[in-house]
Chains A and B, each alone.
Chain A
């Protein structure tokens, strides 16, 4: 096995890993403010991808499809918060677990009925012809994934640190009760986090679709990997997911190459078990003292 082959596999895997990281980031956003997770996040990715595909087919230029798709994702995220999460949180119950799963199933059925069950290609103006870079073949499409992931995560993180609204978001994440005493509306911050999370999911869908095709089950494996990434990285670490995502993607590809293609899924599960056993708060997570 030559070094060039290994490098190629690592790069291809790492780029897929960035998509895991982006979806995992969506988990983190909502967990930070509300300590709840949208278990239907994968369906948000899928439905947003389908809506964007319809927009492309309707003749909208790609430059407009991207923001329109993300806006749709944000609205869908807000809908999930309102319909599935808010009441449960107000009653301090864990009902959001079931509700988000149910909403996800609902989106899945709806997509199957509206768009059918077939996998479809997602046309994009970005070329998929490989360019040779430092001994590795990489397509502009893959580069666009990397650029998109870093851009949106960078912007969201910047928003949280610089703007007033973002600081309110951070305050609720740090200590909800204290933030409310300071006059910050936790409910708004949670709504914001779900909107952002939906937007991130939509972007993941739009970025990954030209590579993987669009279908109702497109995110079923993606979401499991993303969940592993989020848990391993820690549910409150911003850029930890990027590191773990890249690592997991590359590890999967290398395992597939060296051990055998049947073992591809193993590293994710092993990492998950190890992380839960050794560092339940995640590798990059902060251990917080819970006052009882």
Chain B
């Protein structure tokens, strides 16, 4: 009898003991559907980091080494799924943290649950400004949400800067009618004003998700003499724009948000996509040893010749390392203590994008950058060339090479 009771007790206790030995890290994002190239690449990049850390024995948490146990959840890019998943994860008592979300809408629907329970969440790679600015409120003195992505503010500034640098005077502003597209347009208009009104907007047009024929809108831009199209939208429609431009013989560059590097843009636009410019945090070119190792590991692990979304993959990879550094510094899997460590990371974290020195600071409800890791200097301009994204400006390539050589010397 006692024996049986002991056995029952063991059955109840054993998993608890076993789970105490791991760092539970949730990876969320759309792994199916139109946003899957980004969500899937993010997850796969993050899992390479997890595998590397685990292969080395795990994270040093206080006296013991703990392995990372990834928990994957597919939010299908649906807001309501995102909210459900957030609720489920927030109710786990031993969750160390969450990394993920591609879609701004999903972030808006789910993140409040993490904030309520004080669970550390790193948004990656969703870039919409609102995901973080929603917390700019004196009533939020403390925040457990961080972002690891080049937010739209940086991106739109770069898009406008690029158009000015390329000596364009007349531009067409084109955007999709979703939250993402409209807020991207607002950011771009804002930046045009901020950067001295050097661009004249000769046409401002929109399109809907699922639209295939963009001829009418593009013709307005063409007949008004637009020298570039500044665009904010998502893969398939962006491709329809590119193909529409080729059809009416509108040979001007498309410059826009990082979604122009999605594989469903590049594949569907084909040769018409050549010359398209967009901000990128990572280019799939082995210019540094670290980048080469990551790209090779990714290609090998998933048997692909090209990463569907290199930006998402690299960000996922670096985010896991930053999170692991915070766990190590906190010396516990308590999500609140990990948050405090993230806000004050003592050690630099070498990543594939850059070496991260103090990426975050204590949350300041007046300054969203306190929980944003990316600054202008970590972002480069990418360009589509024959089905892949390459450096748009050679100066960026040289700068990164130099920086990598510099950190090695240190």
Mark A residues whose CB is within 8 Å of B.
1-2, 5, 8-9, 12-13, 16, 116-121, 128-130, 137, 139, 211-213, 215, 217, 220-221, 253-254, 256-257, 261-262, 264
CB distance from B230 to the nearest CB of A (A): 16
Residues in B neighbouring A117, C-beta threshold 8 A: 32-34, 36
CB distance from B404 to the nearest CB of A (A): 34
Find out whether the CB atom of B239 lies under 8 angstroms from the CB atom of A8: no
Contact check: which of A12, A116, A118, A217 meets B210 at CB < 8 Å? A217
Contact check: which of B215, B248, B268 meets A253 at CB < 8 Å? B215
Nearest residue, chain B, Cβ from A117:
B33
Contact flag A130-B247 (CB < 8 Å), given A12-B213, A121-B267, A262-B206 = yes
Residue pairs across A and B with CB atoms within 8 Å: the count is 84
CB distance from B237 to the nearest CB of A (A): 10
Residues in A neighbouring B33, C-beta threshold 8 A: 117-118
- CB proximity to A under 8 Å, residues B255-293: 264, 267-268, 270
Instruction: State the 10 A-B residue pairs at the shortest beta-carbon distance, nearest first.
Output: A256-B216, A257-B216, A12-B215, A212-B212, A119-B236, A121-B268, A117-B33, A5-B219, A253-B216, A9-B216
Find out whether the CB atom of B248 lies under 8 angstroms from the CB atom of A130: yes
Find out whether the CB atom of B236 lies under 8 angstroms from the CB atom of A8: no
Residues in B neighbouring A262, C-beta threshold 8 A: 177, 206
CB distance from B39 to the nearest CB of A (A): 12
Contact flag A137-B248 (CB < 8 Å), given A9-B215, A12-B213, A120-B267 = yes
List 7 A-B residue pairs with CB atoms under 8 Å apart, sorted by A's residue number.
Answer: A5-B223, A8-B248, A118-B36, A118-B37, A120-B268, A261-B205, A261-B206
Find out whether the CB atom of A137 lies under 8 angstroms from the CB atom of B249: yes
Roughly how many angstroms separate A8 CA and B216 CA in the complex, as a whole number?
A: 8
Roughly how many angstroms separate A7 CA and B131 CA in the complex, as a whole number?
A: 44
CB distance from A161 to the nearest CB of B (A): 34
Nearest residue, chain A, Cβ from B206:
A261
Contact flag A128-B268 (CB < 8 Å), given A5-B219, A16-B213, A253-B216 = no
Residues in A neighbouring B156, C-beta threshold 8 A: none
Roughly how many angstroms separate A117 CA and B249 CA in the complex, as a whole number?
A: 31
Q: Say if the beta carbon of B323 comes within 8 Å of chain A.
A: no
Roughly how many angstroms separate A2 CA and B210 CA in the complex, as a whole number?
A: 28
Roughly how many angstroms separate A151 CA and B270 CA in the complex, as a whole number?
A: 29
Roughly how many angstroms separate A8 CA and B212 CA in the complex, as a whole number?
A: 16
Residues in B neighbouring A264, C-beta threshold 8 A: 208, 211
Contact check: which of A1, A5, A8, A119 meets B264 at CB < 8 Å? A119
Q: Say if the beta carbon of B164 comes within 8 Å of chain A.
A: no
Q: Say if the beta carbon of B207 comes within 8 Å of chain A.
A: yes
Q: Say if the beta carbon of B358 comes within 8 Å of chain A.
A: no
Beyond known contacts A5-B223, A117-B34, A130-B249: 13 more, CB 8 A cutoff? A5-B219, A9-B215, A119-B34, A129-B246, A130-B247, A137-B248, A137-B249, A213-B236, A221-B210, A253-B213, A253-B215, A257-B219, A261-B207
CB distance from A143 to the nearest CB of B (A): 12
Find out whether the CB atom of B236 lies under 8 angstroms from the CB atom of A215: yes
Find out whether the CB atom of A119 lies under 8 angstroms from the CB atom of B223: no
Roughly how many angstroms separate A217 CA and B220 CA in the complex, as a whole number?
A: 28
Q: Say if the beta carbon of B217 comes within 8 Å of chain A.
A: yes
Find out whether the CB atom of B216 lies under 8 angstroms from the CB atom of A139: no
Roughly how many angstroms separate A119 CA and B236 CA in the complex, as a whole number?
A: 7
Q: Say if the beta carbon of B243 comes within 8 Å of chain A.
A: yes
Scan B188-226; emit 1 where CB is below 8 A from any A CB, else 0: 000000000000000001111011110111011001000
Roughly how many angstroms separate A9 CA and B222 CA in the complex, as a whole number?
A: 13
CB distance from B79 to the nearest CB of A (A): 17
Contact check: which of B32, B220, B239, B246 meets A213 at CB < 8 Å? B239
Roughly how many angstroms separate A261 CA and B211 CA in the complex, as a whole number?
A: 10
Contact flag A8-B219 (CB < 8 Å), given A118-B34, A119-B236 = yes
Nearest residue, chain B, Cβ from A256:
B216
- For B34, B216, B236, the residue with the greatest tally of chain A CB atoms inside 10 Å of its CB is B216
CB distance from B346 to the nearest CB of A (A): 43
Residues in A neighbouring B239, C-beta threshold 8 A: 213
Residues in B neighbouring A2, C-beta threshold 8 A: 223
Roughly how many angstroms separate A136 CA and B246 CA in the complex, as a whole number?
A: 13
Find out whether the CB atom of A261 lies under 8 angstroms from the CB atom of B216: yes
Find out whether the CB atom of A121 lies under 8 angstroms from the CB atom of B270: yes
Find out whether the CB atom of A130 lies under 8 angstroms from the CB atom of B246: yes
Residues in A neighbouring B240, C-beta threshold 8 A: 212
Find out whether the CB atom of A220 lies under 8 angstroms from the CB atom of B216: no
CB distance from A5 to the nearest CB of B (A): 5
Roughly how many angstroms separate A211 CA and B272 CA in the complex, as a whole number?
A: 13
CB distance from B314 to the nearest CB of A (A): 22
CB distance from A277 to the nearest CB of B (A): 27
Residues in B neighbouring A12, C-beta threshold 8 A: 213, 215-216, 247
Residues in B neighbouring A118, C-beta threshold 8 A: 33-34, 36-37, 264
CB distance from B142 to the nearest CB of A (A): 39
Residues in A neighbouring B268, C-beta threshold 8 A: 119-121, 213
Residues in B neighbouring A213, C-beta threshold 8 A: 212, 236, 239, 268
Roughly how many angstroms separate A216 CA and B34 CA in the complex, as a whole number?
A: 11
CB distance from B270 to the nearest CB of A (A): 7
Roughly how many angstroms separate A203 CA and B336 CA in the complex, as a whole number?
A: 59
Roughly how many angstroms separate A215 CA and B211 CA in the complex, as a whole number?
A: 13
Scan B225-249; emit 1 where CB is below 8 A from any A CB, else 0: 0000000000110011001001111
Contact flag A9-B219 (CB < 8 Å), given A117-B36, A261-B207 = yes
Residues in B neighbouring A119, C-beta threshold 8 A: 34, 235-236, 264, 268
CB distance from A221 to the nearest CB of B (A): 6
Roughly how many angstroms separate A213 CA and B266 CA in the complex, as a whole number?
A: 13
Residues in A neighbouring B264, C-beta threshold 8 A: 118-119
Residues in B neighbouring A13, C-beta threshold 8 A: 213, 215-216
Residues in A neighbouring B37, C-beta threshold 8 A: 118
Contact flag A137-B206 (CB < 8 Å), given A117-B36, A119-B264, A213-B268 = no
Scan B1-40; emit 1 where CB is below 8 A from any A CB, else 0: 0000000000000000000000000000000111011000
Roughly how many angstroms separate A5 CA and B223 CA in the complex, as a whole number?
A: 8
Find out whether the CB atom of A128 lies under 8 angstroms from the CB atom of B223: no
Scan B310-326; emit 1 where CB is below 8 A from any A CB, else 0: 00000000000000000
Contact flag A211-B212 (CB < 8 Å), given A117-B36, A261-B217, A262-B177 = yes
